[in-house]
């Protein structure tokens, strides 16, 4: 059921506006637009979440989808978009104890990565760092992880499944939401 939820979300995500965040430079050919190098796997130092004092969005570092959310080596970004938290209520599985409707914006990114869905989920399980795990499910076909931080002020969903284009790669969906506090 969880994998079906993630796949339904993927179909919605892939049907988005195709905005890849390239700044409109006219170079969009419809192909994946970014090959992102792997993060070095280092954990944040001294509890630094990169949030500064403004509480706003935190820019990801090299090799990250979002701040403190690494990407597997060779991840190709397919698409990105955003929507309000009130539209995301179905993304949180029962029992995760996350109120997604509190978030004013949810941003998602879709990547294609090499490796099995289970291997990609294990990559994230090994790199949770100081995130709290609110939910985790995985199988050979895919999985879903929900992480929270700062008493729920930030939440990340990570879902994997076999690529819907039949290439043998894995689709990786990562959503991030924050209250901005």
When the pLDDT of each residue in the chain is averaged and rounded to a whole number, the result is 72
Q: Are 66 and 176 in contact (CB under 8 A)?
A: yes
Looking at residue 172, what is its pLDDT?
Answer: 95
Domain assignment present for residue 153? The answer is yes
Q: Are 59 and 160 in contact (CB under 8 A)?
A: no
What's the CATH number where 159 sits? 3.30.310
Mean pLDDT of 21-48: 37
Whether this model's pTM surpasses 0.75: no
Domain assignment present for residue 136? The answer is yes
Closest CA to 2 of 90, 68, 113: 90
pLDDT at 145 over 70: yes
pLDDT tens-digit series, residues 76-126: 999 999 887 767 666 677 667 777 777 878 899 999 999 999 999 999 999
Domain assignment present for residue 39? The answer is no
Domain assignment present for residue 47? The answer is no
Range of the domain at 93: 2-19+69-178
Determine what percent of the chain is predicted with pLDDT higher than 90: 39
Domain assignment present for residue 54? The answer is no
Domain assignment present for residue 49? The answer is no
pLDDT at 137 over 50: yes
Looking at residue 181, what is its pLDDT?
Answer: 58
Domain assignment present for residue 129? The answer is yes
Domain assignment present for residue 10? The answer is yes
Q: Are 70 and 44 in contact (CB under 8 A)?
A: no
What's the total number of domains in the chain?
A: 1
Please give the sequence-ordered ranges of beta strands (E in DSSP) within the chain, or none if there are none: 34-36, 64-66, 69-70, 75-83, 105-113, 132-139, 142-149, 154-162, 170-178
Mean pLDDT of 9-34: 38
């Amino acid at each position: 059921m969880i994998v079906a939820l993630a796949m339904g979300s993927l179909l919605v995500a892939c049907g988005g506006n195709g905005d890849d965040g390239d700044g409109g430079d006219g170079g969009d050919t419809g192909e994946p637009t970014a090959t992102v190098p792997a993060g070095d796997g280092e954990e944040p130092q001294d509890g630094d979440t990169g949030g500064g004092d403004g509480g706003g969005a935190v820019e990801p570092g090299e090799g990250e989808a979002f701040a403190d959310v690494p990407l597997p080596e060779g991840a190709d970004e397919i698409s990105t978009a955003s929507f309000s938290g009130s539209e995301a209520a179905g993304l949180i599985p029962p029992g995760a104890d996350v109120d997604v409707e509190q978030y004013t914006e949810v941003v998602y990114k879709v990547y294609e990565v090499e490796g099995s869905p289970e291997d990609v989920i294990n990559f994230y399980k090994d790199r949770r760092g100081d995130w709290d795990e609110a939910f985790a499910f995985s199988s050979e076909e895919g999985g879903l992880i929900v992480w929270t931080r700062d008493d729920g002020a930030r939440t990340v969903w990570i879902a994997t499944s076999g690529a819907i284009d039949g290439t043998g790669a894995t689709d990786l969906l990562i959503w991030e939401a924050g209250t901005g506090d």
